[in-house]
Chain A
Amino acid sequence: MTSLTRRAFLKSSVAASAAATVGLPVSKAVLAQAKTAEAGWAWDKAVCRFCGTGCGIQVATAGGKIVATKGDPAAPVNRGLNCIKGYFNGKILYGADRLTQPLMRMKDGKFDKKGPFVPVSWQAAFDEMERQFRKAYAEKGPAGVAIIGSGQYTIQEGYVAAKLMKAGFRSNNIDPNARHCMASAVAAFLQVFGIDEPANVYDDIELADSVVLWGANMAEAHPILWSRITDRRLAAKSTKVVNITTYRNMSSDLADLEIVIAPSGDLAVQNYLARELLARNAVNWDFVKKHCIFATGPTDIGYGMRPTSKFAYDAEKDIQAKELENTLDEAEAIGQRRKAGEKVAQKSRASAGAHWQITLEEFKRGLEPYTLDYAAKVAKGDPDEPMEAFKAKLVALADLYADMKRNTMSFWTMGFNQHQRGVWVNEQNYMIHLLLGKHGTPGNGAFSLTGQPSACGTAREVGTFAHRLPADMVVNNPKHREITEKGWKLPPKTLNPKPGSDIMGILRDLEDGGVKFLWVQVTNPFQSSPNANHWLKAAREMDNFIVVADCYPTLSGKVADLVLPAAMIYEKWGAYGNAERRTQMWRQQVEAPGEAKTDVWMMLEFAKRFRLADVWGEKPLPGLKDPAFPEGRLPDVLAAAKAMGYSPEQNLYEVLFATPENRKVAWPDPVAKGHGNATVKALGESWFVEKALFEEYAQFGRGHHHDLAPFDLYFRDDVRGLRWPVVDGKETKYRFVEGQDPYVKAGEGFNFYGGAFKAIPTGTLDGVTDPKPVPLPGKAKIFFRPYAAPVEQPDKDYDLWLCTGRILEHWHTGSMTRRVPELNRAAPSAVLYMHPKDAEKRGLKRNDTAWIESRRGKIRMVVDTKGRNQMPRGSVFAAFFDESLLVNKLVLDAVDPISRETDFKKCAVRVTKA
């Protein structure tokens, strides 16, 4: 066949396969031709590796390589479609700069922090890692070592990392990049429902009459879900789409109502809506009285910055000082029933998440200031929009929510989560849906979407956070520690009861010398974290050792001391859990290049180097105050371990992972259908590591509202993931609802059975009046949360808002999507979107280069005044994917004080012509 006819043949085959995948009629002859073109290929089901949507794909391999990918027509999430990121699923494995051997900074044949990277053997890499780990551990104890992971961890990777750190090294310093992305959603789930993860499912899109986006540009960030919303909007004419945003974006194109709000204006708008629902008597009182209570919490909670100015640049000190005392502006004072100009000491910084029950009357009193006039004044985001027009939009929004006949879905991601009051603003959305009685039922619900592919399935549910244990348990709950110690066969008091450092905490610990050993896995924190100049300097100039395991050279790799080459997605076995509780698994399809190895193998090999005697003796833990523990120390548990049959000479691999039970799970296994297993092969073992560890992990959730199915079931040909709880092989669509959720009994209607924070004191809007905890079994909480002003706002020196986020073609920090060689050659650098008048005022026009400067740093970017994002005057937007234009040098590292999640969406900058 000539190359021309071969090309034509391939094209018609691709067309035929694509048509068949999405159900377009094609003739048998055409399909037969497609089959011929694919002769010799092996197709297998897998999951897209890019975002939290969780699209099912099919992967074709031939000759040991992936040659094609396609949307999985049987996948209910995406029904055969991929989004633009799908172009990378296969190709991303074959970038020219894949890391294929360990690289260590060396001079004269030895590790040297100031040396250049030199290829070394795995043996040499582990030897130095072990030496450095032991040094940090001996000097600082469990608090001196840390892991930063992510929502890109497979379930098994996250489980190994959490168990190694928490049970082995007795350190809670493990935190995922998901902290930057989902933590506010999590804290709100726990405070409102007592249990993490959404009640609704994607199927609700096709049942919704009103779809309201709150700070979620789904057209760019969740294109496949957006395609379903588009279909719904076009198929059912009465469907309305509302885009609530701080700037006009691609999602506005479909929207019936676009509401441009000011940063943090969402807090005021949602209280206005709740006030309206009450005023219009659009409340489902039967539901509220049976299933809900009202609650509130303190407002003087700070902004999650350091309480000291010791590490602040001079320019940062004015904002940093607000961490301890803030002066109320007029909007904040009205929203909190106080006086403008009042100085408020931030006394509840350490108890930001405390909350108590209030009466309906108090709840109403809290909402009283949130009139249309007030909400509109606080929230109007476009200075060029007339006030009356903006008010009309808020009324139209209230009309949609208050219409009891309309099914209503609210969606959000980073606009809510990356917010100095992210937990509050999440809780306000549940407030609205619970008042309406429209939550967790077909077509109705407040739905928190996710960013990363297994932010839910791994980071949250496995518990790779500094305070969490598997299945929603937490380290500072003695009962949870006991359950986990039993499950993991650990002596009592092995687990550390003191929450570790969250991701910003770990970076700050590097800067102040608290953490001296850091292992970064499947993430790029030195690019993805705010106020980057501090942490880049800390990595290179402080006495510490930073290990980065990755597939490609990232910015984090560049500032590391040791870089470990990691196997990628389809080069290993794995499992992800998406935003609708759907757990999906895949088989290893191909082998990793060169010396690249799975993260699971790296951790298991490292575990082999530590004996129980090294880690389970008495360990210092400065600041530990717990009645069950000696002050500032974790006790020696070696004697108890001996009594359990362990020898102090056993290593952590044997004790935590290659247990007698796990060794019974044999490899090879028929479920593999002949596929390989890189972890097992590199270990030289005959137990199925990923299956054994998944089953071990799943024990924690089964029977406790988090039931995962047996490992093999996920690989059955007709299964495309299952939404937990999976009880008796049956998945659950709607949680908390009778007839849907196996944990809700007949006659209950709804049961918000989550157990966290289910006994709280009683009080008023101003504080606790009776500290005695009152149990609230089965209830959800409707929170009153006031408006709070952003801690840094534009002023005369830094006169523009900066918002950062994603764009369609790039995901993560670009470490995946920026890697494919042709992309690197000509990909446009991140641009600064700004209003043409703001540009003109500064002598700038489209495509000019400008300096963008904040209190924390300065970078140059190219100005765009009429691209896909159209900014109101006074605001600029930049995407964060570009490593050469490190936008995070500008961003403030304030975090939500309850969730510790960073606010990437609002800080102040100035822009000048470069």
Chain B
Amino acid sequence: MNLSGILVVVPPARLDAAITDLSTLPGVEVHHVDPATGRLIVVQEADGVEAEMAGLVAIKARPHVRLAEMVYHYFAPEGEES
């Protein structure tokens, strides 16, 4: 299991729509929101790096998303179930 914390920036006026939209992506949960600046922290769970990258590319491609970059990456050692 790999987890990553991702900063997503959307226009503040689109915040609610973006939260709803991002929450539909597989493995993605919206955790923290700063309504004033349109900044969100989402956590993405994925099996491995390839899926994490594909997930981040998908987030970047969502409507309203101005910026999405990884901030924090936790990865379980090979073969170890967390």
Contact = CB atoms under 8 A, between A and B. Distances in A.
B69 A83 contact: yes
B19 interface: no
Contact of A21 (B51, B67, B71): B71
B50 to A, nearest CB: 5
Interface string B52-82: 1100110000000011011111110110011
Size range of the interface on A?
Answer: 35 or more
A88 B67 CA distance: 20
Given A11-B3, A18-B5, A809 B53 contact: yes
B6 interface: yes
Contact of B47 (A68, A84, A822): A822
A231 B69 CA distance: 13
Contacts of A7: 1, 45, 82
Given A3-B82, A69-B73, A822-B47, 7 more contacts: A14-B5, A15-B5, A17-B72, A19-B5, A25-B32, A87-B53, A90-B73
Contacts of B53: 84, 87, 809
B34 A24 contact: yes
B75 A11 contact: no
A71 B23 CA distance: 24
B32 A70 contact: no
Given A3-B82, A10-B82, A21-B72, A234 B66 contact: yes
A231 B37 CA distance: 12
B29 A11 contact: yes
Interface string A69-94: 11100000000111110111111001
A67 B71 contact: no
Interface centre among B2, B32, B52, B57 (most CB of A within 10 A): B32
B1 to A, nearest CB: 7
Interface stretch (A222-230, A402-410, A637-645, A710-718): A222-230
Given A18-B5, A18-B6, A19-B31, A10 B50 contact: no
Interface of A: 3, 6-7, 10-12, 14-19, 21-22, 24-26, 65, 67-71, 80-84, 86-91, 94, 96, 223-224, 227, 230-231, 234, 808-809, 820-823, 825-827
A18 B7 contact: yes
B15 interface: no
Contacts of A227: 67, 69
A820 B50 CA distance: 8
Given A7-B82, A19-B5, A19-B41, A86 B73 contact: yes
Contacts of A70: 5, 71-73
Interface centre among B7, B45, B67, B77 (most CB of A within 10 A): B7
Contact of B73 (A16, A68, A234, A827): A68
A71 B71 CA distance: 5
Interface in B5-28: 5-7
Contacts of A90: 73, 75
Given A14-B4, A67-B77, A22 B70 contact: no
Contacts of A10: 3, 74, 82
Contact of A823 (B1, B32, B42, B50): B50
B45 to A, nearest CB: 7
Contacts of B71: 18, 21-22, 70-71, 80-82
* Prevailing SS type, chain B contact patch: strand
Contacts of B4: 14, 87
Contacts of B72: 14, 17-18, 21, 68-71
Nearest to A68: B74
A31 to B, nearest CB: 11
A83 B42 CA distance: 15
Contacts of A821: 48
Contact of A86 (B47, B50, B70): B70
A823 B39 CA distance: 30
Interface in B35-49: 39, 41-43, 45, 47-49
A11 B60 CA distance: 21
Nearest to B70: A82
10 contacts: A3-B82, A6-B82, A7-B45, A14-B72, A24-B34, A67-B74, A84-B70, A88-B49, A230-B66, A822-B50
Contacts of B77: 65, 67, 94
A293 B12 CA distance: 51
A25 B34 contact: yes
Nearest to B40: A24
A-B pairs, 9 with minimum CB distance: A18-B5, A15-B31, A822-B48, A18-B71, A18-B72, A70-B72, A68-B74, A19-B32, A81-B69
Contacts of B52: 87
A43 to B, nearest CB: 11
A230 B7 CA distance: 14
Given A10-B3, A820-B49, A68 B75 contact: yes
A809 B43 CA distance: 20
A808 B57 contact: yes
Interface centre among B6, B31, B74 (most CB of A within 10 A): B74
A65 B75 CA distance: 11
A87 B6 CA distance: 11
A18 B7 CA distance: 8
A67 B50 contact: no
Nearest to A18: B5
A3 B57 CA distance: 28
Contacts of A65: 77
B53 to A, nearest CB: 5
B56 A24 contact: no
Contacts of B39: 22, 24
B2 to A, nearest CB: 8
Nearest to A73: B71
A574 B3 CA distance: 28
Contacts of B29: 11, 15
B44 to A, nearest CB: 9
A68 B75 CA distance: 6
A826 B50 contact: yes
A89 B71 CA distance: 12
A21 B70 CA distance: 11
Contacts of B43: 11-12, 14-15, 18
Contacts of A827: 50
B80 to A, nearest CB: 10
A15 B41 contact: yes
B73 A81 contact: no
Contacts of B32: 15-16, 19, 24-26
A855 B27 CA distance: 47
A853 B72 CA distance: 43
A822 B2 CA distance: 12
B41 A24 contact: yes
A858 B66 CA distance: 40
B77 to A, nearest CB: 6
A224 B67 CA distance: 10
Contacts of A25: 32, 34
A91 B49 CA distance: 8
Nearest to B81: A3
A179 B68 CA distance: 33
Given A18-B41, A84-B70, A822 B51 contact: yes
Nearest to B56: A84
A75 B37 CA distance: 21
Contacts of A91: 2, 49, 73, 75
Interface centre among A14, A16, A24 (most CB of B within 10 A): A14
